[in-house]
Amino acid sequence: MKIKYDLKSQNVDAVCTKHRKICTPIPHPDSIKLINELREVESDSMHDQLPLVWDSAKDYQIFDGHGNCFIDLTSTIFVANVGHSHPKVLEAIQKCCQKPLINNYYYPSFERKEFVKRLIEVTPKHLNKAILYSTGAETTEASFKIMRQYGHKINREKITILSFEGSFHGKTTGAQQLGGKTAGKQWIKNLDKNIVHIPFPTQWYMEQSGLSGSELFLRDIKLLEKQGIDLSLIAGIIIEPYQGWGALFYPQDYIDTMVKWAKENNSLITVDEVQSGFGRTGKLFGFEHYNLEPDLVCMGKAISSSLPLSAIIGREELINLDASMNSTHGGNPMACAASLASLNALIDENLIEASAKKGLILEHELKKWQEEFPNLISYISCKGLVAAVFFKKINSTELDIELVDNLIYKAMLKGVNSVRTLSGTIKIGPPLTIPEDALVEAINVYKQCLNELLEETHA
């Protein structure tokens, strides 16, 4: 599988619309020079996304510094929900610079007090305490520790954590083991045998089983028991409201049964909202789509729409279980000030409702596209402003990673920036502020790119 895109500037047709501008070869030759300099000194792992140099970013647009302007369908991988460089977020950061207060370890600060109070105010009442970190993976690691320590207090053997195949909870070693992607784990060797995974209830897995969501959960958990797992020792379950790579949601009856089972078994439920939180799915948090009261919630990315900040929130007795839970940069004052401004903008500018409304337009456009290419587009998933378009190889169920890689590259040449999932899915997650016509325009660029790719392969 090709990981790095070949670097060459291409002469492309000029584009000039209200939302996009392409006026030079792409990537611009200076961008190629910059990327090559970076590639000389950085890991390949930092160079698998599209070769688009970001000079500045504002609202739903990215500028490369050479006159080209791209519609952003990534929100910087689900960070800039209130739009890139939101004026209120910038102002909050600038205020900290002017004081100046740019870091303070976890000594108290006004900025942190204001933000955490507001965060706790907008989340369900029972989630009344927070710990702040800098990255999403730190919060899932923290939930892992808390769930285990909670179980361990009940029974020293109750330390098993249940997760889902295909899930993603971060890239540090604990978070990676919580995640359900098997690739890339071989080197760990002594995988934690007290982390277990069951299949995610995709639509096709459900169809194959012929069971309801509720029956499927009970069957798969029983299968674990048959494999020798003592279910009474499950201390906690970690779920994402949707699995990131495919924007795949759980059936409601599956969640209902899982919640009931967890209650009966005295197991905690962590919801990993690192990607789905802060309006992405048309609700403040993804778990609000389910009838679910999580014990712990992990947040990151769009918490600030900008600087690195993350948080785990939960009931006081859980959050206070481990007195060592803090970190050097967790709760940085600039990140807290930015997060307060971002959260207020999200609510005051009705961006959560906007996400739900624009999501319907997005879904409509994508469904039309699927109707045109039923042999290629096998599945569409969309809720609010997160969507995934699954491309499969003709006469096969295998997802077509190469086709998607080529398609999003072509779209970049026309002024649309995409997430590269390396999974055969186009993942769409623009800032929630994106104008409706820019959203439709970007999807039309994808459609045009697919037509061109098909013409090229038939030529």
Ligand X SMILES: Cc1ncc(COP(=O)(O)O)c(C=O)c1O
| Contacts to ligand X by CB under 6 A | 135-137, 140, 168-170, 240, 244, 272, 274-275, 300
What does the block give as tokens for 89? 């977020």
Q: Which residues contact 191 (CB under 8 A, 6 or more apart)?
A: 177, 185
The residue number whose beta carbon is nearest to ligand X equals: 136
Q: Which is nearer to ligand X, 238 or 346 (CB)?
A: 238
Cβ at position 311, least distance to ligand X in Å: 12
Query: Which DSSP letter does residue 20 get?
Result: -
Which of 112, 421, 90, 398 has the alpha carbon at shortest distance from 244? Answer: 421
The residue among 200 and 369 lying less far from ligand X, judged by its C-beta, is 200
Question: Burial, 317: exposed, middle or buried (Cβ in 10 Å; 0-12, 13-18, 19+)?
Answer: exposed
Neighbour-count burial of 225, counting CB atoms closer than 10 A to its CB (0-12 exposed, 13-18 middle, 19+ buried): exposed
As measured in angstroms, the least distance from the Cβ of 140 to ligand X is 5
CB of 386 to ligand X, least distance (A): 11
Q: How far is the CB of 68 from ligand X (least distance, A)?
A: 27
Q: At what angle do helices 351-372 and 333-348 cross, to 10 degrees?
A: 70
23 to 14, 354, 439, 455: CA distances (angstroms): 5, 32, 21, 25
For the chain, report the end-to-end CA distance as a whole number of angstroms: 25
Instruction: Give the nearer residue to ligand X in terms of CB position, either 144 or 391.
Output: 144
* Cβ proximity to ligand X, 236 vs 244, nearer residue: 244
Cβ–Cβ under 8 Å, residues 377 and 390: yes
Nearer to ligand X, 274 or 338 (CB): 274
Structure tokens, 126 = 């029972």
Shortest distance, position 357 Cβ to ligand X, whole Å: 24
Give 59 or 240: the residue with its C-beta nearer to ligand X.
Answer: 240
Q: Tell the smallest beta-carbon distance from residue 98 to ligand X (Å).
A: 28
Nearer to ligand X, 136 or 166 (CB): 136
Going by DSSP bridges, is the β-strand pair 268-272/296-299 parallel, antiparallel, or unpaired?
parallel
Q: How far apart are CA 176 and CA 144, in angstroms?
A: 11
Quote the CA–CA distance of 311 and 322 in Å, as a whole number: 15
We find the least distance from the C-beta atom of residue 171 to ligand X, in angstroms, to be 6
Least distance in angstroms from the C-beta of 241 to ligand X: 9
Q: Which helix (H) or strand (E) holds 6?
A: none
Which amino acid would we find at residue 304?
S
The residue among 174 and 300 lying less far from ligand X, judged by its C-beta, is 300
387 within 8 A of 362, measured Cβ to Cβ? yes
Dist. CA 438–CA 378, nearest whole Å:
25
Distance between CA atoms of residues 191 and 174, nearest Å: 10
The smaller minimum CB distance to ligand X, of residues 68 and 123, is found at 123
Q: From the CB of 301, what's the least distance to ligand X, in Å? A: 6
